[in-house]
């Protein structure tokens, strides 16, 4: 029964592909780790070889220079005590140099042997993981052939897998005790009445050509090979490997052919119609018995990559890359038809209108790559496990999204720009108008309008307090006169204006006289007024001074009236 995709459409998968994918990834991870380890070992070997060459050269150079010191003494005074001492020193120098050079090279050889053993352990680990995969699954897209051969030592069964990406694996198979494929298997144990008719040419004096029947019941089965398109049975008359016999080949198209093998006179085999049913029955029964051995895999015999055994291949990563590339198309199809994001889903019918769902998350598959360096994870790029949307190999990649404009920092977002006079752009920050050297001359804010007003003019003599001050309603409209000479108040920025969260309104600036005559309940808030531009600062100071002069005159007139 074939499996279904996650959207319940039928697939061409006949086994649990998700379990197979997990084992493929585990096997590929070990292959990549083996490649990384071998690379590190190669670098270490080169470094140690270079270091040893440098050490040996330094020792030999030292011996050469020391010999140059004592050499002339040996030549000039060979019979004196000094000469004999110099000769002994020269001999000791030569022996010490040779001893150190030999020891350095021996140390290098021992370290290289240890590195080789580490490499073999890594290759053995990779082979073990691959054997675990192949004992339960086949190589992706592999063509299988089963072979059972009878030799003097017994019966040997193997499975050979060949892939289109240059990998060939051979596995050993176990023959059960109750199988018909036992020792000394003869044709009569499989089918009865099997015979052939062959044209034979023989004779010393006179050549004759006659049809001779051959009963095959006593022939031994030498080997059976079951491939994807053919089944081949080799028969021989005796147990010896070179004995005469026949090779029977049956193709899936229904064609049946027989060829003679081994020594003997030349023969041309003709298959009569009466011979075909028995030969066909023999081939079918042997094929069924051999195919039953396909699930009895006991171990991995050999694995070759492009004709090189995996234990001798310089780059085991090649096998990982080719296996991942082989399973990637099926994985992408599963991902495209899985309705759950971040999961690979397969389903299968279990009867009674019920389906079983099998899934694995891409996060779990990606977690298996955590031990690999970043450059080694590129091997698994075709599987698209990193969270990007799955696509078929021929599908064009979607254009990248434009880069989003960076959002302003928190400090910029908190600025209040409601009182900006410019419609576009952002104004420069206002300079602090308060002088640093002089004391803060800010007067008390007006209780009604909530903004800063100039201080009241000095009261003339006779005024005892604020009880003599008139109310706002009794202040007459001031006459517009020139500004009275007085001290110009310092310009102070109203802090409450920036704390107000109400939206700005385009209200024209109120005249000083109107502002003075306005009742307290109708007083406008300072935040309701737009910010004044820098070129209106002089006019503002003139209005404030006029307001102060008007208040002084009103107070003077009030003092002249009888109470």
Report, as an integer, the average pLDDT of 505-526. 45
pLDDT band at 536 (very low <50, low <70, confident <90, very high): low
Q: With helix as H, strand as E and coil as C, how does 236-304 read?
A: ECCCCCCCCEEEEEEECCCCEEEEEECCCCCEEEECCCCCHHHHHHHHHHHHHHHHHHHHCEEEEEEEE
In this prediction, residue 143 has a pLDDT band, given cuts at 50, 70 and 90, of: very high
DSSP three-state, residue 368:
coil
Inform me whether the pLDDT recorded for 102 exceeds 50: yes
Please state whether beta strands 308-309 and 297-305 pair in parallel, antiparallel, or not at all (unpaired).
antiparallel
Residue 554: per-residue pLDDT: 78
- pLDDT in the model for residue 391: 42
Q: What is the sign, positive or negative, of the torsion defined by CA atoms of 455, 457, 458, 459?
A: negative
The pLDDT of residue 555: 78
Over 50: is that where the pLDDT of 280 sits?
A: yes
Query: Cα–Cα distance between 481 and 563 in angstroms, integer?
Result: 28
Give the pLDDT of residue 32: 93
Site of tokens 């050499």: 71
- The number of angstroms, rounded, from the C-alpha of 297 to the middle of its chain's C-alpha atoms is 33
**pLDDT number for residue 465:** 45
Provide the pLDDT for residue 375.
Answer: 87
Convert the pLDDT of each residue in 334-390 to its tens digit: 999 998 888 999 998 888 888 889 999 999 999 999 888 888 899 999 998 874 334
**Tokens matching residue 65:** 């220079």
Cβ burial of 451 (10 Å; 0-12, 13-18, 19+) is middle
Distant-in-sequence, close-in-space partners of 508: CB < 8 Å, separation ≥ 6: none
Chain position carrying tokens 């009275």: 484
DSSP state of 389: P
Report whether pLDDT(489) > 70.
no
Number of H helices, E strands in the chain: 9, 15
Output the pLDDT for position 96.
94
pLDDT at 507 over 90: no
Q: In sequence order, which residues have a C-beta less than 8 Å from that of residue 238 and are 6 or more positions away?
A: 220
Q: What is the mean pLDDT of residues 9-22?
A: 91
How much is the average pLDDT of 32-42?
90
User: Lowest mean pLDDT: which of 17-21, 69-73, 449-453?
Assistant: 449-453
Length of the chain: 563
Give the confidence band of 51 by pLDDT, cuts at 50, 70, 90: very high
pLDDT 10s digits, 188-213: 999 988 888 776 655 454 445 667 77
Assigned token pair, 369? 């790559």
**For residue 30, what is the enclosing H or E element?**
helix 17-76
φ/ψ (deg, to 5) at 196:
-135, 160
Q: Token pair of 418, please?
A: 């409601």
- Report the side by side order of strands in the sheet with 245-251: 256-261, 245-251, 230-236, 220-226, 143-151, 154-162, 167-173, 297-305, 308-309
Q: Tell me the CA end-to-end span of the chain in Å, nearest whole number.
A: 116
Q: Please give the full DSSP string across 521-544, using - where no structure is assigned.
A: GGPPPGGGSPPPPGGGHHHHHHHH
* Crossing angle of the two packed helices 81-134 and 17-76, in degrees rounded to 10: 170
| Most confident residue range from 234-243, 433-442, 535-544 | 234-243
Q: If pLDDT is split at 50, 70 and 90, which confidence band does 112 have?
A: very high
321 — pLDDT class (breaks 50, 70, 90): very high
Mean pLDDT, all residues of the chain: 76
DSSP string covering 434-492? S-SSS---PPPPPTTT-S--PPPPPPPTT--SGGGSPPGGGPPPPP--PPPP-PPPPP-
- Reference 334, options 351, 320, 347; nearest CA is 347
- The CA distance from 55 to 94, in Å, is 16
């Amino acid at each position: 029964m074939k499996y279904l995709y996650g959207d319940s459409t039928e697939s061409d998968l006949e086994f649990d592909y998700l379990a197979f994918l997990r084992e493929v990834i585990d096997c590929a991870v070990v292959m990549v780790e083996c490649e990384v380890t071998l690379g590190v070992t190669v670098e270490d070997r080169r470094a140690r070889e270079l270091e040893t060459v440098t050490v040996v050269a330094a020792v030999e150079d030292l011996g050469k220079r020391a010999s140059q010191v004592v050499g002339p003494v040996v030549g000039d005074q060979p019979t004196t005590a000094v000469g004999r001492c110099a000769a002994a020193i020269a001999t000791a120098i030569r022996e010490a140099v040779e001893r150190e050079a030999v020891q350095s090279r021996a140390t290098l050889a021992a370290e290289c042997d240890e590195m080789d053993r580490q490499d073999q352990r890594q290759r053995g680990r990779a082979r073990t993981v691959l054997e675990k995969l192949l004992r339960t699954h086949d190589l992706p897209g592999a063509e299988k052939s089963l072979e059972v051969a009878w030799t003097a030592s017994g019966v040997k069964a193997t499975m050979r897998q060949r892939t289109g990406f240059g990998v060939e694996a051979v596995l050993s198979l176990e023959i059960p005790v109750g199988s018909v494929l036992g020792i000394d298997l003869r044709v009569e144990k499989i089918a009865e009445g099997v015979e052939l008719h062959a044209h034979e040419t023989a004779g010393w004096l006179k050549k004759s050509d006659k049809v001779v029947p051959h009963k095959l019941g006593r022939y031994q089965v030498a080997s059976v090979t079951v491939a994807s398109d053919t089944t081949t049975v080799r028969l021989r008359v005796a147990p010896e490997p070179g004995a005469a016999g026949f090779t029977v080949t049956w193709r899936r198209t229904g064609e049946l052919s027989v060829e003679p093998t081994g020594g003997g006179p030349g023969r041309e085999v003709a298959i009569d119609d009466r011979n075909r049913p028995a030969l066909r029955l023999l081939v079918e029964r042997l094929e069924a018995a051999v195919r039953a051995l396909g699930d009895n895999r006991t171990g991995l015999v050999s694995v070759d990559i492009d004709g090189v055994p995996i234990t001798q291949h310089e780059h085991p990563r090649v096998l990982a890359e080719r296996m991942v590339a082989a399973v990637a198309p099926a994985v992408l199809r599963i991902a495209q038809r899985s309705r759950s994001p971040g999961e690979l889903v397969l389903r299968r019918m279990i009867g009674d209108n019920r389906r079983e769902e099998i899934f694995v998350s891409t996060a779990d598959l990606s977690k298996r790559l955590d031990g690999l360096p970043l450059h080694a994870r590129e091997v698994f790029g075709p599987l698209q496990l990193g969270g990007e949307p799955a696509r078929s190999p021929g599908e064009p990649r979607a254009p990248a999204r434009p880069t989003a404009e960076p959002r302003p920092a928190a400090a910029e977002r908190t600025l209040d720009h409601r009182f900006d006079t410019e419609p576009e752009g952002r104004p420069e920050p206002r300079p602090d108008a308060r002088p640093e050297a002089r004391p803060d001359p800010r007067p008390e804010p007006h209780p009604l309008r909530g903004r800063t007003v100039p201080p009241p003019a000095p009261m003339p003599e006779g005024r005892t307090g604020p009880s003599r001050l008139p109310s706002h309603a009794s202040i007459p409209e001031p006459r517009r006169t020139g500004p009275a000479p007085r001290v110009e108040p310092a310009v102070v920025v109203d802090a409450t204006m920036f704390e107000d969260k109400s939206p700005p309104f385009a209200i024209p600036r109120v005249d000083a006289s109107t502002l003075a005559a306005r009742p307290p309940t109708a007083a406008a808030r300072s935040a309701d007024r737009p910010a004044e531009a820098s070129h209106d600062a002089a006019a503002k100071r003139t209005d404030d001074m006029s307001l102060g002069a008007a208040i002084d005159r009103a107070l003077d007139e009030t003092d002249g009236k009888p109470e």
